[in-house]
Amino acid sequence: MSATERQTDSRSSGRSGWRVRWCGDAALVVECDADLDPRVNARAVEIARQVRLARVEGVRDVVPTHSAVTVYLDPVAGDAEVLSRRLLSWAESSAPAAEAQREITVGVRYGGPGGPDLEAVAAFAGCSIDEVVRRHAAGHYRVFMLGFLPGFAYMGVVDSRIAMPRRATPRLAVPARSVGIAGRQTGIYPSAAPGGWQLIGTADIAPFTLQAEPACIFRAGDLVRFEPRVVES
């Protein structure tokens, strides 16, 4: 099979809704259509765990996302057809691992210089700043995936009333530890970087520290709760 054929070839399971497709000639993606569904994400996390445990020959890396798992492989050393069948099998049968789900509490200083968009989110929601803070801090957010920056955790699901879309024009520099909202997701910038999320406060933790072990505080599947430290006007 040529690389072009591989990019379009796929197989799927009618029972589970999951399908496997090529991504270039050195990666397979097992995916399911879903929109911030914790159950689908839990299945993706478990599929990734199964791939790692199986130590499949030729697999170089395994990356779970919201509703998919990308498996990078050496197309010469590994058997992609066998891996494709195994991925579908894991997708159909894998239930979330029976292990305690970590809960992490993060203190947030809402508003002030670190939350320049808090007032805009309140205007979007048609409520007070205090109500935005209450709604954001009331949620228990699942870490769906990590990406964009080392240690950046995509968390959901944000209360629909305060789920303001990204800024039309991203900022060139967002300070480290900034807490933002982007639609139904929230997150903490682990380092200074360009970004378009609506900034509502500053976290009292650094999500990623290279010298620490582990370097990243969060992992997929964690539950995160935000606790107001103070609300600045």
Residues of the chain with CATH 2.40.100.10: 103-232
204 pLDDT band, cuts 50/70/90, is very high
What pLDDT is recorded for position 104?
96
Instruction: Compute the average pLDDT of residues 172-180.
Output: 97
**pLDDT band at 15; cut points 50, 70, 90:** low
pLDDT at 73 over 80: yes
Task: Report the mean per-residue pLDDT for the chain.
Answer: 89
pLDDT the model gives residue 232: 79
Closest CA to 76 of 26, 5, 39, 141: 26
Residues 26, 56, 90: CA angle, nearest 5 degrees: 95
For 196, phi and psi rounded to 5 degrees? Answer: -115, 10
On whether the 103-232 domain is CATH 2.40.100.10, my answer is yes
pLDDT of 38 over the 60 cut: yes
Residue intervals of the chain classified under CATH 3.30.1360.40 are 3-93
Closest-CA residue to 70 (of 30, 21, 17, 24): 30
> For the chain, how big is the Rg over CA atoms in Å?
20
pLDDT digits (tens, 9 = 90+) for 100-115: 689 999 999 999 999 9
pLDDT above 80 (res 13): no
| The CATH number of the domain covering residues in 3-93 | 3.30.1360.40
d(CA 22, CA 105): 39
